[in-house]
Amino acid sequence: MAIKTFKPYTPSRRGMSSADYSELTTDRPEKSLLTRLLKTGGRNNTGTLMVRHQGGGSKRAYRVVDFKRDKFGIPGTIATIEYDPNRSARICLVNYKDGEKRYVIHPVGLKVGDTIVSGPESDIRVGNALPIKNIPEGTFVHNVELVPGRGGQMMRAAGSQAQLMAKDAGYAQLKMPSGEIRMVPDGCMATIGQVSNTDHNTISLGKAGRSRHRGIRPTVRGGAMNATDHPMGGGRGKSKGGNHPKSPWNQLAKGYKTRKKKKIWSWLIVQDRRRAQQQA
């Protein structure tokens, strides 16, 4: 993937960049794998606003992606590489030998016409999915399960990959892009390779309108509001107030612990990502 820049013929174009989409092979998705995607605008079933800054945006159809990769032993051929508006990664359409079609996350290096396969006996090749216990140490993987059979939950975003560090006593240690090292059951499925669209994080939107197209509404500082609207609002002119930063619901916003420790899962974290960043 390459990044496309623009000449500054308008103020917004000066800092704008986008993907050139040169890796895509079609702009028509497979209709049998599309479903309707309804918008909530951040509201629940009673109409109460539960998540701020959501609303509007372009219409999207949801592409049903195969995260489980449970079609064992049946080879599939990459038919197309496509854009997915619901995720940062690209997806590719796989035509399996038995006639079924599925979308999977597109890894770096996989081209149209290549063959992929899932299952414990699969080769260690980009795009193939295997149980972690059958993958050699040092291999980079993506679309990793946390619970066997549940489907991939980690390493699904553009450019993501985790390195398999060690295997012992039914668990495998994976090193995340953040530096965190965590354990997962070695019976979980993982796909070989790195997720495509690796330059996604370098793209600059350039103007507010592109955020609105994505369904992201503006964020207003609490200090710019009236006192009736926010704990940090009010004052004559610009004013910091001198109070501890708070959320709109008067909860301390920095340093206040709001989550209970998950004792069931915390032991799976071998090295915390915050500690890894401090050491780096």
Q: Sorting pLDDT into bands at 50, 70 and 90, what band is 273?
A: confident
Task: For residues 6 and 18, give the distance between their C-alpha atoms in angstroms, rounded to a whole number.
Answer: 9
Phi and psi, residue 154, nearest 5°: -115, 155
The answer to the question of residue 34 being in a domain is: yes
Q: Which residues of 114-135 are buried (b: 16+ CB within 10 A; e: fewer)?
A: eebbbbeebeeeebbbbbbeeb
What's the whole-number mean pLDDT along residues 202-215? 96
Task: For residues 108 and 121, give the distance between their C-alpha atoms in angstroms, rounded to a whole number.
Answer: 22
The answer to the question of residue 150 being in a domain is: yes
> For residue 180, how many other CB atoms are within 10 A of its CB?
18
SS3 of 260-278:
CCCCCCHHHEEECHHHHHH
Residue 100: name the closest of 65, 67, 71 by CA. 71
pLDDT tens-digit readout, 54-75:
999 999 999 999 999 999 999 9
Residue 210: name the closest of 1, 4, 51, 18 by CA. 18
Rounded alpha-carbon distances, angstroms, from residue 44 to 1, 35, 55, 70, 205: 38, 21, 13, 34, 29
Whether the pLDDT of residue 224 is over 90: the answer is yes
The answer to the question of residue 214 being in a domain is: no
The answer to the question of residue 12 being in a domain is: yes
The answer to the question of residue 87 being in a domain is: yes
The answer to the question of residue 117 being in a domain is: yes
Q: Sorting pLDDT into bands at 50, 70 and 90, what band is 241?
A: confident
What's the whole-number mean pLDDT along residues 186-198? 97
Least confident residue range of 5-14, 113-122, 264-273? 264-273
Task: For residues 52 and 217, give the distance between their C-alpha atoms in angstroms, rounded to a whole number.
Answer: 8
Sequence-separated (6 or more) residues with CB below 8 Å from residue 232: 222, 223, 225, 241, 243, 245, 246
The answer to the question of residue 135 being in a domain is: yes
pLDDT for the residue numbered 239:
86
Residue with tokens 């063959």, as numbered in its chain: 115
CB 94 within 8 A of CB 102: yes
What's the whole-number mean pLDDT along residues 87-101? 97
CB 242 within 8 A of CB 252: no
Q: Which residue has the higher pLDDT, 261 or 198?
A: 198
Mean pLDDT of the chain: 94
The answer to the question of residue 197 being in a domain is: yes
Report the domain count for the chain. 1
Domain with residue 25: its CATH number is: 2.40.50.140
Domain limits for position 103: 3-201
